[in-house]
Homo-oligomer: A and B are copies of this chain.
């Protein structure tokens, strides 16, 4: 094995190994190893001496070798369905931060909404991670179970019995949004729906229906698929044509598109039409600023990694179904129902 030419340590010196440190110190390799992993087994003096030498030599334990013998590599995998969707970056950031604090490195995978790609990534990760977080997985349940049997695994926004999962429960926020619209006098509203197979979409749709029924509002559903700025924009026309006075969208991106579509149709928001988003990932950056359901996506990432850690360490993998609640954030895209808009 000619280490110098195979890409490992391309230039200059090889990284020092435990053997070199041992030789310089005049102790065995085992002692050096223990100085790092179980210093309480060694005399204080020895630990100090070893660490001093290690420092001077620039020795750092080789993670790969360590992983081979312990089966613990300190890596976790995070797979999301679309890095570019503004919902994910905060989630990724939070997950990352939590993992960092635990001394873990994170592999990031981007499935691009494609189950085949997702499985490919999973296959590559599984061998070198101690745990996995799947956010908005597109895999079918059977697949997920297979991987969950091999490694601690936490799902985000996917509700599979027996597997630890964190669910962003937007129902309360959505209900509050409907209440808000009802109080503003809207009687007839639209739900701009997302992917039919999405857990979040089902949940939101149901919440809208239920609360609207309770308050005697009429709801129609207009699809925006796949959910994006563009499909949101295109939904503006049918929505206006339907005669509703307000709309609540599957997510902020769709809501933002809808705002653009409405502006293009010269519909004034919020004076003659109200729009509510979901997720609160665009902050105050839309115009007008979006009233939306805050979904705490960052927390989801944080909590998921937390659960993963306890599953990895405690091992007590009692099933956990963690719900994150939500609330309505009122900004400038909602207002009183227009006085004389006729219902078609």
Binding site for B on A (CB under 8 A): 1, 3, 5-12, 15, 60, 62-65, 67-75, 83-84, 86, 88-90, 92-93, 96-97, 100, 103, 105-110, 112, 117, 120-121, 123-125, 127-128, 130, 149-152, 229, 256-257, 259-260, 263, 283-287, 312-313, 315, 317
Chain B hits for A72, CB < 8 A: 6-8
Please state if B10 and A151 are interface contacts (CB–CB under 8 Å). Answer: yes
Please state if B11 and A60 are interface contacts (CB–CB under 8 Å). Answer: no
Please state if A60 and B7 are interface contacts (CB–CB under 8 Å). Answer: no
How many chain copies does the complex carry? 2
Name 28 A/B residue pairs within 8 A (Cβ), A-sorted: A1-B70, A5-B315, A6-B71, A7-B313, A7-B315, A10-B152, A10-B315, A11-B149, A15-B150, A60-B123, A60-B127, A64-B127, A64-B128, A75-B128, A83-B89, A84-B93, A93-B110, A93-B112, A96-B110, A97-B112, A100-B117, A100-B120, A105-B124, A229-B284, A256-B285, A259-B287, A260-B284, A287-B287
Q: A83-B92, A90-B84, A110-B96 are in contact. Are A130 and B7 (CB under 8 A)?
A: yes
Known: A108-B108, A257-B285. 7 other contacts (CB 8 A): A5-B315, A6-B70, A7-B315, A9-B71, A62-B127, A83-B89, A105-B128
Chain B hits for A5, CB < 8 A: 315
Which of B128, B312, B317 is close to A63, meaning CB atoms less than 8 Å apart? Answer: B128
Q: Lowest 8 A-B CB distances belong to which pairs?
A: A8-B71, A108-B108, A287-B287, A63-B127, A84-B89, A83-B93, A64-B67, A83-B89
Chain B hits for A312, CB < 8 A: 7
**In the complex, what distance in Å separates the CA atom of A166 from the CA atom of B58?**
31
**In the complex, what distance in Å separates the CA atom of A42 from the CA atom of B75?**
35
Could you tell me the distance in whole angstroms from the C-beta of A7 to the nearest C-beta in chain B?
Answer: 6
Please state if B68 and A65 are interface contacts (CB–CB under 8 Å). Answer: yes
Chain B hits for A97, CB < 8 A: 110, 112
**In the complex, what distance in Å separates the CA atom of A117 from the CA atom of B287?**
35
Could you tell me the distance in whole angstroms from the C-beta of A198 to the nearest C-beta in chain B?
Answer: 20
Could you tell me the distance in whole angstroms from the C-beta of A80 to the nearest C-beta in chain B?
Answer: 10
**In the complex, what distance in Å separates the CA atom of A250 from the CA atom of B151?**
45
Nearest B residue (CB) for A73: B64
Chain B hits for A112, CB < 8 A: 93, 97
**In the complex, what distance in Å separates the CA atom of A287 from the CA atom of B233?**
13
Could you tell me the distance in whole angstroms from the C-beta of A258 to the nearest C-beta in chain B?
Answer: 12
Could you tell me the distance in whole angstroms from the C-beta of A234 to the nearest C-beta in chain B?
Answer: 13
Kindly name the residue among A1, A86, A124 whose own CB sees the greatest number of chain B CB atoms within 10 A: A124
Chain B hits for A123, CB < 8 A: 60
Which of B12, B60, B105, B117 is close to A107, meaning CB atoms less than 8 Å apart? Answer: B105
